[in-house]
């Protein structure tokens, strides 16, 4: 967020549409964050005694698993109160075999390979190669395989060298997943650059961005900016009683849904005599 910078208002010369590189490669780094298990917890935050956890590949195209096996609440508890998969290259495999060997096997005669699909999609869309995107991001240029070791570990550079004839032919998606993560993040330097460019454009080029003066009154804006995802979980779940105040942090304080007032919609009430 620091690198995206403060919002300074709508910029009509900024194109807010989704960039090809973002849609076909950069944002698909999220596939490396997916756990092989969907954790389902009961109200005491233990594994659900009746339904248990669910293997990822068993969930594909199986909505009845949600409808008939405890609803959405056990899944929400699992998301909030268990750690996410560690994407750092030094600690974890990048994409689990559920996604590269068993993708959609419940609906397709032959299971698919998500990583291969991502690579092929980038080719179909004519994306430039990894070294060219680094140049766009004003990052140090790689001319040799040894140069690449500054961003990707030597063992992984050796693997790339076995696959690609030239450093100039290394494709973006695998390189983004193999880049060393920056301290305090889950992304490498090239991926972070591409994400920042897209999210900044989405904000600055959107004339209906919620912070744009005139879109909302000061009172409405305050309500919006004070809302948390945990508030939405409380409002829209079946019967959640306890949530993490900050659902993105495992060490967050646990709070009761009864103590979360939610969005004050009275700020949107039409009252010509009162400035809200």
- pLDDT for 65-110, tens place per residue? 888 999 999 999 999 999 887 655 544 457 777 777 777 766 667 7
Query: Do 176 and 29 contact (CB within 8 A), yes or no?
Result: yes
Per-residue confidence (pLDDT) for residue 275, from 0 to 100 = 57
208 token code pair: 């209906």
Percent of the chain with pLDDT over 70: 92
Per-residue confidence (pLDDT) for residue 83, from 0 to 100 = 86
pLDDT band at 185 (very low <50, low <70, confident <90, very high): confident
CA distance 170 to 133: 11
Per-residue confidence (pLDDT) for residue 87, from 0 to 100 = 58
Task: Examine the pLDDT at 31 and tell me if it is beyond 80.
Answer: yes
CA distance 39 to 73: 11
Residue 173: left (phi > 0), alpha (psi -120 to 50), or beta? alpha
Average pLDDT over residues 44-69: 88
Regarding predicted confidence, which is higher, 56 or 165? 165
Task: Examine the pLDDT at 143 and tell me if it is beyond 70.
Answer: yes
Query: DSSP character for 30?
Result: G
**pTM for the structure as a whole:** 0.87
Task: Examine the pLDDT at 30 and tell me if it is beyond 80.
Answer: yes
Which residues in 252-264 are b (16+ Cβ under 10 Å) and which e?
eeebebeebeeee
Q: Which residue has the tokens 């060997």?
A: 101
Residues contacting residue 19 through CB under 8 Å, at least 6 positions apart: 194, 197, 198, 201
Query: Do 118 and 25 contact (CB within 8 A), yes or no?
Result: yes
Per-residue confidence (pLDDT) for residue 86, from 0 to 100 = 67
Beta strands at 37-38 and 54-55: parallel, antiparallel or unpaired = antiparallel
Per-residue confidence (pLDDT) for residue 273, from 0 to 100 = 52
Per-residue confidence (pLDDT) for residue 92, from 0 to 100 = 47
* Closest to 240 measured CA to CA, from 221, 216, 256: 256
Q: Mapping DSSP to helix (H, G, I), strand (E, B) and coil, where does residue 240 land?
A: coil
Tens-digit pLDDT profile for residues 226-241: 999 999 999 999 999 9
Per-residue confidence (pLDDT) for residue 88, from 0 to 100 = 55
């Amino acid at each position: 967020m620091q690198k995206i910078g403060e919002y300074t208002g709508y910029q009509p010369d900024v194109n807010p549409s989704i960039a090809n590189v973002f849609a076909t490669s950069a944002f698909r780094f999220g596939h490396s964050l997916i756990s092989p298990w969907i954790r389902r917890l009961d109200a005491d935050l233990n594994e659900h005694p009746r339904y248990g956890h669910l293997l990822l590949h068993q969930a594909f195209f199986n909505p009845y698993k949600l409808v008939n096996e405890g609803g959405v609440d056990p899944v929400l508890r699992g998301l909030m109160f268990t750690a996410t998969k560690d994407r750092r290259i030094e600690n974890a495999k990048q994409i689990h075999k559920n996604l590269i060997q068993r993708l959609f096997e419940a609906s397709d005669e032959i299971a698919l390979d998500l990583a291969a699909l991502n690579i092929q999609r980038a080719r179909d869309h004519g994306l430039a190669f990894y070294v060219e995107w680094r140049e766009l991001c004003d990052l140090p240029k790689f001319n040799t395989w040894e140069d690449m070791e500054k961003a990707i570990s030597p063992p992984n550079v050796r693997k790339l060298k076995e696959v690609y004839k030239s450093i100039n032919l290394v494709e973006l998606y695998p390189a983004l997943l193999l880049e060393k993560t920056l301290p305090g993040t889950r992304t490498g330097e090239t991926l972070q650059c591409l994400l920042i460019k897209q999210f900044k454009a989405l904000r600055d080029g959107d004339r209906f961005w919620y912070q744009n003066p005139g879109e909302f009154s000061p009172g409405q804006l305050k309500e919006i900016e004070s809302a948390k995802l945990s508030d939405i979980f409380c409002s829209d779940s079946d019967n959640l009683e306890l949530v993490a105040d900050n659902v993105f942090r495992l060490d967050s304080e646990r709070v009761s849904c009864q103590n979360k007032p939610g969005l004050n919609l009275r700020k949107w009430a039409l009252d010509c005599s009162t400035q809200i």
